[in-house]
Amino acid sequence: MLGHALGTSEVTRISACRACGARELAPVISLGHTPLANALLTADAAETRERLYPLEVVRCEACSLVQLTVSVSPEILFRRYPYQTSFSDAFVRHARDSVEELLATLSWHGDRLAVEIASNDGYLLQFYRDAGIPVLGIEPAENIAKVAQDRGIETITQFFGRDLGAQLAAQGRRADVVHANNVLAHVPDLNGVLAGIRSLLKADGLAAIETPWLCDMVDRIEFDTIYHEHLYYFSLTALVTIFAAQGLRIVDVRHLDVHGGSLRVFAQRDDAASTVPAEAGDRVRQLLAAENEWGVAQEIRYARFADDVTQLKGKLMELLRSLRAQGRSIAAYGASAKGTTLLSYCGLTRADIEYVVDRSTIKQGMLTPGTRLPIEAPAKLLERMPDYVLLLVWNFADEVIAQQSEYRRRGGRFIIPLPDPKIV
């Protein structure tokens, strides 16, 4: 059972940009009404009425920030959370590499401290701890924070913002480095989080922040990156403006392949002497110029994206239903947030997808939001040998396909849904 939730106290619709306050908001795309992407159901709640929320994207014409039109309360989204980062071997390696780079380049003087905002299960901070650097995690999801605490990672179970940043600084707990991986997109009070980071940084401290990149999302038609936890879809153009308004200066940027294409930006307090090489500033200027040429402020760029999404949906539905008409069985891999968006927007049901498998033991035995597909352990693929598996976590395609080599050896095939549906 599904029902719309707009108008309830848990939902706020914006009338102005969350960052700069401008009221000129241009439409980008609407994906209809969808359930919350990580609101998994227990098996005995199959008949529970689920709420649907509008999933609409707009662009601020003043600062170029692309964002959702509605916010769902963080208390609903994040206090209990089913995503545990350590289940992804690839992302743990990614975190280790990032830490090793900063261990080698930062000065690490005085009372050393590495902090991560939205630190999940300690997947990243463990590498600082193992190198002898004191760590502090900040993770509002109580169930996930406990996993980190049990692993010996000091973790505060609060939402991070202006007040907590100032409080920690007043206690003398200022950081050499503050990580924020894939969290800025999640916070309604973006300005408060950035102000809190500025307070938390030492005078020469460095913030290392990763977020999916708007330009990759648009170019690769990654519409399933859009869900209610992701309030923002960042360009470097928007980030530079937003950071500057909170006293932070972006001093370097890297383009990463992770999560379908991301940016890692490095920022310092605006009153700090720069500690990065000159070529870092060149990278910032070059990417800003590239975004301008790409059309980050041009309406036509986003209109094409909306058209591309519609066409992609048609192609994927045609492929899946053609296979089903031939009597082929189809399962899915990855009970992910992006999977919820893809399944919901495409209108897929149990008639199309029989079940989903996922490595996360937290998710196994649950049902997917909206579509209510049972979530099984990956071993189910070898037990039942579906003809095809729709790869909902396409951003980890190499990792998943390598793990499922035996399924492929027996004749199983994967469907990668975007940017153009293909069978591998």
- For the stretch 412-424, pLDDT in tens is 999 999 999 999 9
* One fold for 85-297 and 318-423: yes
Question: Which CATH number fits the domain 85-297, given the four candidates 1.10.620.20, 3.40.50.150, 3.40.50.300, 1.10.357.10?
Answer: 3.40.50.150
Residue 171 has pLDDT above 90, yes or no: yes
Provide the pLDDT for residue 1. 46
Q: What confidence category does residue 79 fall into, taking pLDDT thresholds of 50, 70 and 90?
A: low
Burial class (CB in 10 A: 0-12, 13-18, 19+), 289: exposed
Given this structure, which CATH class describes domain 318-423?
Answer: alpha beta
pLDDT in tens, 225-284: 999 999 999 999 999 999 999 999 999 999 998 878 999 999 999 998 877 777 889 999
The pLDDT value recorded for residue 76 is 79
pLDDT of residue 322 exceeding 90: yes
Residue 84 pLDDT > 70: no
Quote the tokens at residue 236: 């470097």
Q: How is residue 16 written in tokens?
A: 């102005």
Domain ranges of the chain: 85-297, 318-423
Q: Which amino acid appears at position 145 of this protein? A: A
What pLDDT was estimated at residue 2? 47
Q: Is residue 350 very low, low, confident or very high in pLDDT (cuts 50, 70, 90)?
A: very high
- Is it the case that residue 6 has pLDDT exceeding 60? no
**Residues written for the chain:** 424
Residues 6+ apart with CB under 8 A from 94: 258
Q: How many CB atoms lie within 10 A of CB 410?
A: 10
In 10 A of CB 421, how many CB atoms? 18
Q: Which of these, 385, 118, 339, 125, lies nearest to 223 by C-alpha position?
A: 339
Q: Is residue 7 scored above 90 in pLDDT?
A: no
pLDDT at 89: 82
Whether the pLDDT of residue 141 is over 90: the answer is: no
pLDDT at 9 over 80: no
378 vs 259, more confident: 378
What is the C-alpha separation between 233 and 216, in angstroms, rounded? 10
Say which DSSP state 419 is in: S
Whether the ω angle into residue 421 lies within 30 degrees of 0, i.e. cis, is no
Q: Residue 286: pLDDT band by 50, 70, 90 thresholds? A: very high
pLDDT of residue 3 exceeding 60: no
Per-residue exposure over 232-263, b if at least 16 CB sit within 10 Å of its own CB, e if not: bbbbbbbbbbbbeebbbbbbbbbeeebbbbbb
Of residues 259 and 142, more confidence is placed in: 142
**pLDDT, mean over the chain:** 92
